[in-house]
Structure formats: C-alpha cells, structure tokens
Amino acid sequence: MTKLKKFDLTFLGAAQTVTGSMYLLELDDFKIIVDCGFFQGKRQESAQLNRNIPRVALDADVLLLTHAHIDHSGNIPTLVKKGFKGKVHCTDTTADLCKHMLRDSARIQEHDAGWLNRKNSDDPDWEPITPLYTEDDAVAALEHFVPHPYNDTFDIHPRARVQFVDAGHVLGSASIIIDVQVNGHRRRVVFSGDIGRRNLPILRDPVPPKHADYVIMETTYGNRLHAPVTQMHDQLAAAIEETYKRGGKVIIPSFALERTQEIVFALNELRRSGRIKPIPVYLDSPLAINLTEVFRKHHECYDAEAIAFDLAHGDPFGFDMLKVVESARESMALNEMSGPAIIISASGMCEGGRIVHHLRNNIENHSNAVVIVGYQAQHTLGRRIVERRRQVPVFGVKRDLNARVYVLNAFSAHADKNELLWWATECGSQARKFFLVHGDPEQSEAFAQTLESLGKKCDIPRRKATVSLLD
C-alpha cells in the first residue's frame, strides 16, 4: 500500500451547535461523509445552510449514517439530488425508519411551500418557494441505502473498515467505528452519533467502542443532569391520574420517532399494572403509526425488558384502550369527544401537524393537561407552554393557557453529563483527542473542562474547520 498523505477531518455541521450533523473524513482523495442532517432553528439561516451543501460533500464517495433523526438524515435527499453518487450505509433499522422519515419530511416541505405560495399569491414581489426536495427525490435517495446488521464489519476502502454499534438513543441508532490503516498503524476513529441513556425503555444500552484514537462526540447535555429513567412511569402516571380526577383530557405532544413508542409502551405497562384507569388513548400521528410498524418489525433491537414483555403479553405497542387515528376526519372528530382521554400527537415541539389543533381545542380548559415529554427549542409553541406563559399563540390567535402543564424530564433520549462521561472514558481511555460537537457552546465547553480535568485532550471545532489526523 502506498503511503497515505492526507488523513483529514472536517466539521461541516453540528459544530458549536446541535443541528445539521455532517462530517467529512478524507483518506487522500477518498471522501467519507458521516451524517447529512438538517440545520434547524432560525428559519432563514437554516434554509440557507440546508440548501447550500458544500461541494466537497456532493463529491464524496460514501456516506455513513448514525441514525434516522432528521437533524442527522434529513438532507440526504438534497445531497443525492445535487449529485452525490455513493452508497449510504446504516443499520437495517435506520434504513427502514428513513423510508418514512424522509418521505414525511418531503411531504411537509411540499405542503408548506404550497401553502405559503397560495397565501402570498397576491403579492407581486413574492418569490415562489420551492421545497428543498420532493417525495420523488426522497424515494430516489432511498435507493442509495445499504442496510447492515449491528456489529458486522465491512470495508468501504482498502484502508477503511466500518462497524455500527449500539448507541441506545433511538431504535437503530449507532455509533460508528472506522478503522483506518495509516502507514503501518491502525487508527480508530469513532463517531459517537447521539448517545442514549442506560435503562431507556425498548432500547438496548449504549455500547461505547473501545480503544478509540480519535473521538467525535456529541455533547448536547455536557453540563446537565436528568431525572433518573426509573421516574418515567411515576411522572407519567401522576400527571394522568391528577387530570383524570379533574375530568380532563391529557394532551401529549410527542416526537413521532421513539418518544411516541416509549409513551405507548409506558401506558401499556401502567394500564396492565392497574396504575392508571381505563382511559381511552388516541395515537393521532400518521408518521408515528408508520414508525411503530418498523418497531414491531425489528424485535432484534429490543432490550431484555421489551422482549420479556412481548413474550408474556404480546405487542408492546398495542393494548385494549389504544386507538389509532388514521384519517384527518377521525382526528377532527376527537374535538367533539367529551370525558377523560389521552391524546398523543405530533409534531413534538408543537410547530405543526395535528397536535396544534388539539392544543387549540384544549388548552383553555382548566381541567385539561399538557404533558411535555421532549426537548422544546426556543421560539417554539412547545417552549412557550413549558414556560407556562399566561397566553400562547396558536394558529396566530392568542389563547389563555389554563390547562395544567407537566414537564417530565425523565424522558430524555440523550445521555446527561455523567452518562457522557462514562461513555467517553470507556471509549477513549487512550484517545489522542476528543472533538466535541453537537452541543451549544456552553454545554461543550463545560464538558471539555470535565474531560480535561481527567487529562484528556479536547477540541471544540468550528464549522468548516479541518484537522489532520496524520501524526
């Protein structure tokens, strides 16, 4: 093998921020992209970044995908549409989830662009908006996917061998090991992906790869501690029982991937053990319903608890009180319904989708409750509800927030500071360097201090920064 002259790592996204994950690893002229996610947040700035994928990424030879969340996978159809010709390697579960996630993302974009163009059709200065990609583009991108079981190794280049290991964050999520032959040495580069928590329902625990030389690691909660996972059921049961006593409805805005399945499984267990009354539960999210089918298909990803439940009681995601709401007409019919009920719907931050209708119809009633089970970014309706503002804007109309608000922070899918530290020390006991990414600066900096106090070398790279991993 000839001498490797270039072994460069470039941070194309999720650098000093949490969204837009994308990294480039170059072995001479061979280019590997890891993740290709959407930037999210301030609307115009994100749209600009999402549209302008760097040329070097379009020319890449191969893409490795950590998991199906849209801030990691969402821009793959744009990449393919603009000329990327390579394969997209991921776990088989991630490939199945992406079939729904990417098409759903396209449909939302097409819908939003059409709505805005119609709304502004009388404005002579209006520049019609086009979606970043269409459903056809998403389908074309899915043709590039190559699924792999966890822990299998495969070569993407004579010098580079890849392996996906459990990250315990959402179903199918992986940390990626890339072993590279570098002029007589093996160098192990590990991309953490998003790291989950030990003892989360359904999922197996994260498995930190060993003996990493370079670790590209998420730090979403580098300086925060979560309530223990074991409090999930207690928190949820308490919110439901209190609302039941008031005769109200429980509205749960939930991310369609993973959080919804965790909530449904938790409700199933609570119902089965008699800890909640037989209240009807409505799952009102077409995407969540499709993703739940992927969960049912991929038993091999379940942890011991979910397998035992499945064997003893059957489907963790189906029980007598659960009703799946498919059509928009059925969803609207829920408005007329009286009496206690639990409604689970998306989007998770209340920015669109059917949940907004349920909030409009329910938040002014003192008997009802909104149960927040996921992260709510700044400037979203979900965040305003978390802040318990007296009034919140729903479809542009201010409404009194009279419903009780419960914020259940045991439901986080991201490792907290202590869990990150455990993962980092297992993975990088001899690491030459940690590159801390996927975190707001104060979270990454706090975590860097923690690692440096243990004698580890850290860097918090900026977007577009390149480092050489050659000695």
Least distance CB 370 / Zn ion (angstroms): 23
Taking the least distance from each CB to Zn ion, the nearer of 16 and 331 is 16
Nearest to Zn ion of 11, 309 (CB atom): 11
Q: Binder to Zn ion among 10, 62, 69, 160 (CB under 5 A)?
A: 69
Q: How many CB atoms lie within 10 A of CB 312?
A: 8
Contact 356, 385 (CB under 8 A): no
Using CB under 5 A, which of the segments 106-114, 194-202, 358-366, 388-396 binds Zn ion? Answer: 194-202
Nearer to Zn ion, 76 or 281 (CB): 76
Task: Give the pairing of strands 369-372 and 249-253.
Answer: parallel
Q: Judged by CB under 5 A, which stretch of 29-37, 62-70, 306-314, 332-340 contacts Zn ion?
A: 62-70
Would you give the DSSP letter of residue 177? Answer: E
Nearer to Zn ion, 173 or 361 (CB): 173
Backbone angles phi, psi at 400, to 5 degrees: -70, 130
Q: Closer CB to Zn ion, residue 19 or residue 268?
A: 19
Q: Number of residues interacting with Zn ion: please give it, by CB under 5 A.
A: 2
Please say whether the beta carbons of 7 and 182 come within 8 A.
yes
- Shortest distance in whole angstroms from residue 76 CB to Zn ion: 15
Site string for Zn ion, 151-190 (x = CB under 5 A): ----------------------------------------
The least distance separating Zn ion from the CB of residue 372, rounded to whole angstroms, comes to: 18
Return the CA Rg of the chain.
23
Residue 194 or 416 with smaller CB distance to Zn ion:
194
Q: Which of 3, 66, 78, 81 is nearest to 32 (CA)?
A: 66
Query: Binding segment for Zn ion among 50-58, 61-69, 396-404, 425-433 (CB under 5 A)?
Result: 61-69
Using CB under 5 A as the binding rule, whether residue 204 contacts Zn ion is answered as no
Considering the complex, state which of residue 66 and residue 268 has its C-beta at the smaller distance from Zn ion: 66
Ramachandran region, residue 210 (left: φ > 0; alpha: ψ -120 to 50; beta: rest): beta
The distance of closest approach from Cβ of residue 288 to Zn ion in the complex, given in angstroms and rounded to an integer, is: 16
What is the crossing angle of helices 92-119 and 286-297, to 10°? 170
Q: Assess whether the previous peptide bond of 347 is cis (omega < 30° from 0).
A: yes
What 8-state DSSP symbol labels residue 124? T
Closest-CA residue to 298 (of 261, 334, 326, 247): 261
CB burial class (10 A; 0-12, 13-18, 19+) of residue 442? exposed
Contact call for residue 26 and Zn ion (CB under 5 A)? no
Q: Show Cβ contacts of residue 342 under 8 Å, excluding neighbours closer than 6 positions.
A: 240, 249, 250, 252, 267, 279, 280, 281, 282
| Residue 33, strand partner residues | 24, 63
Q: Which stretch binds Zn ion (CB under 5 A): 67-75, 300-308, 312-320, 397-405?
A: 67-75
The β-bridge partners of 342 are: 250, 281
* Site residues (CB under 5 A) for Zn ion, limited to 253-292: none
CA–CA dist 322, 283 (Å, integer):
7
Is residue 194 near Zn ion by the rule CB under 5 A? Answer: yes
Name which of 172 and 248 has its Cβ closer to Zn ion. 172
Min separation Cβ 20 and Zn ion, Å: 12
Q: For Zn ion, give the closer residue by CB, 348 or 461.
A: 348
Shortest spacing between CB 121 and Zn ion, in angstroms:
37
Distance CA 431, CA 163 (A): 18
The CB-of-205 to Zn ion minimum distance in angstroms stands at 16
Cα separation of 294 and 91, whole Å? 13
Write down the least CB distance from residue 438 to Zn ion, Å: 9
* Nearest residue (CB) to Zn ion, 193 versus 353: 193
Residues 401-460 that bind Zn ion (CB under 5 A): none
The interface region with Zn ion, picked from 64-72, 148-156, 157-165, 244-252 by CB under 5 A, is: 64-72
The footprint of Zn ion (CB under 5 A) covers: 69, 194
